[in-house]
Amino acid sequence: MSADKSGEIDLEYELDDRPPWLESILLGIQHVAVMIVPATAVAFIVAGEVGLDAANTAYIVQMVLLFSGLATVVQAYTVGPVGSRLPIVMGTSFTFVGAAATVGIDYGLSAVFGAILVT
């Protein structure tokens, strides 16, 4: 993508164009690699604060990735009235890290799961 002197942008692909398969696969791998770090960071932070062992930390990371994937599929393909039909990657949020860590330290991991279900 480059701009010429008239201010018009020269796009590599138009709106309905499809890149070649190899390029699509490489861009997909890049997209997944960029998505995994922010999605799993919250799980690692909360698991570290609560003091979980490796098995429980792995379980939480797996659940984060599973439900991020399910939410992304719902956004992309719509289920009933829910979804935008756009490739929006759904991930975790850092807004509840402090509360989840505090609840986890005081009451354990089951209380964190219950608090997430209630909110």
- HSE-up of residue 32 (Cα within 13 Å, Cβ side): 7
Q: Are 101 and 46 in contact (CB under 8 A)?
A: yes
**What are the CA-CA distances from residue 28 to residues 19, 39, 87 (Å)?**
12, 16, 12
pLDDT digits (tens, 9 = 90+) for 52-87: 999 999 999 999 999 998 988 888 888 889 888 888
pLDDT digits (tens, 9 = 90+) for 39-51: 899 999 999 999 9
**1 or 30, which is more confident:** 30
Please say if the pLDDT value at position 11 is more than 90: no
Average pLDDT taken over every residue of the chain:
88
Q: Are 67 and 39 in contact (CB under 8 A)?
A: no
Q: State the pLDDT at residue 3.
A: 53
Q: What is the pTM of this model?
A: 0.73
